[in-house]
Structure 1
Amino acid sequence: MAQQSEALAYEPRDAILEAAAWCFMERGFNATSIDDIARQLSATKGMVYHYFDSKAELFFEIHHRAMDALLDEVRPVASSALPASQRFSEMARRYVKTLIVTRHYQRTVSEAVQMVLRSSTTETQRQQLTSLQDRRNHCEALFLSVLEQGIEEGSMLAQRPRIAIKPVFGAMNSVISWYHPREDETPEQLDQLVAEVVDVALKGVMGSN
């Protein structure tokens, strides 16, 4: 609670977003109210509204931060000088690890986006959704580009790369649905889990060494 109170005092927007992401993940986006988020923070509803106008605004900011976390990890590897297959594997490892570490943000995105799309949206919100979809497409495009380079190098396999990349992402993204941290889980065990997920996700596109 002390750390939370300190964060609320010095980085209130970050603290509110963190609390909102946890609430959305645990209760569901639709079932979470601004009151719930305020209680999670031991703050007032007015303080939350001082920084965010609505749950929709919180959702959009959480979505952007979820994408920031993934892109910040993947981009440097995509542009590195490593062989394509090594870049692809390392990008996938970082992607899956980030999904796990930021799962409360990623789960919020996964579970709420369809509901937001189905609801009545403003022009500004529609522009936000378009921007977010562009960012998600950009992340997939980074992987696709490296896959195509790997095919050219002969180290990776796919008859139709644009199709093959879809199940790769499906397998990687599934981790946010089933992963639950254990109290006794060590960093080494987490890394091993990430490695196993990546191995399964990439099996269909990796050539034999």
Structure 2
Amino acid sequence: MADQSEALAIDPRDAILDAAAQCFMNRGFNATSIDDIARQLSATKGMVYHYFSSKAELFFDIHHRAMDALFEELEPVLASDLAPPARFTEMARRYVRTLIRTQPYQRTVSEAVHMLLRSSTTDEQRVRLEQLQARRDRCEKLFLAVLEEGIAEGSMRAGRPRMSIKPVFGAMNSVIQWYHPRDGETEQQVSAVVDEVVQIALRGVMA
């Protein structure tokens, strides 16, 4: 794995985004300054500003990358010929695993979007926030479509699917708040965490 200096040389934007996401997760969005991000990188503030005009700009890119990572995992399963329960379960596994793998990015999305919505934003920023929210909604709709398919064939259950999908997402998304990687943690151990979260999250919608 490349160290920070190598990462900066290979792809400065990626390195800056990684550092910003880590800082936002550790310190909070409001409490993090561009100086903090530069220190995390062992770089200058000017270098950060060379690629990103503001913390808001960093947030928008972090949000897009967080969502890209989820869609890249979900869409191939959605297009598969698995039965709805198996498809829904595999999508949930990939969703939770991606939340863990990209935790700093996902935590930034979870915490900063509410702060930005409550703060003064420009018209351009407001449009971008609405676009980001549309992507979040689309992610939920991917799961909802499979749930409704499963209900129609009798293999899944939900009296009110649009309501039932909310606690499913609440349980899955909780992992970004309490999960902490451990030294020497194996892929098998991560998979056990993923399976446990998925089992709990999906318990109410499986027939």
Q: Which residue of 2 aligns with 1:8?
A: 8
Q: Deviations over 1:135-178 (max 9, x none)?
A: 00100000000000111121101111111100000000011111
Identity %: 72
Secondary structure at 2:115's aligned position in 1?
Answer: helix
| Partner of residue 165, structure 1 | 165
Match of 1:73 in 2: 73
SS in 2 for 1:88: helix
Q: Give the match for residue 22 of structure 1.
A: 22
Unaligned runs of 5+ in 2: none
Which amino acid is 2:76 matched to? P
TM-score, reference length from structure 2:
0.98
Structure 2 residue matching 1:86: 3-state secondary structure: helix
Quick one: structure 1 residues 164 and 43, their matched pair in 2 at CA, closer, same or farther if it must change by over 3 Å? Answer: same
TM superposition score normalised by structure 1: 0.97
Matches within 5 A, 1:23-172: 23-172=23-172
Shift of 1:184: 2.7
Q: Which amino acid aligns with 2:201?
A: A
SS of match in other structure, 2:3: helix
Matched position secondary structure for 1:183: coil
Instruction: Work out the CA distance in 2 between the residues paired with 1:40 and 1:176.
Output: 21
C-alpha distance in structure 1 between counterparts of 2:177 and 2:55, whole Å:
22
CA distance in 2, matches of 1:98, 1:141: 18
- TM-superposed CA distance for 1:111, in Å, is 1.2
Partners of 1:137 and 1:114 lie apart in 2 by 15
For the aligned residue pairs, the C-alpha RMSD in angstroms reads: 1.0
- Which SS does the other structure have where 1:134 is aligned? helix
Shift of the 2–164 alpha-carbon distance from structure 1 to 2, 3 Å rule, reads closer
Shift of 1:190: 0.7
CA distance in 2, matches of 1:28, 1:125: 20
Which segment drifts farther, 3-12 or 48-57? 3-12
**Number of equivalences:** 207
Deviation at 1:2, TM superposition (A): 5.8
Local SS of the residue matching 1:96:
helix
Larger mean CA deviation between 146-155 and 197-206 belongs to 146-155
Q: 1: CA distance between counterparts of 2:177 and 2:155?
A: 31
Q: CA, structure 1 residues 120+187, in 2 after alignment: closer, same or farther (shift >3 Å)? A: same
In the TM superposition, residue 4 of structure 1 has moved relative to its aligned partner by 1.2
Separation of aligned partners in 1, 2:188 and 2:7: 29
Q: CA deviation at 1:79?
A: 1.4
Supply the AA of the counterpart residue of 2:17. Answer: L
Structure 1 segments of 4+ aligned residues over 3 angstroms from their partners: none
Q: Deviations over 1:71-124 (max 9, x none)?
A: 110111111111011000000000000000100000111111111111110111
Name the SS for the 1:80 alignment partner. Answer: coil
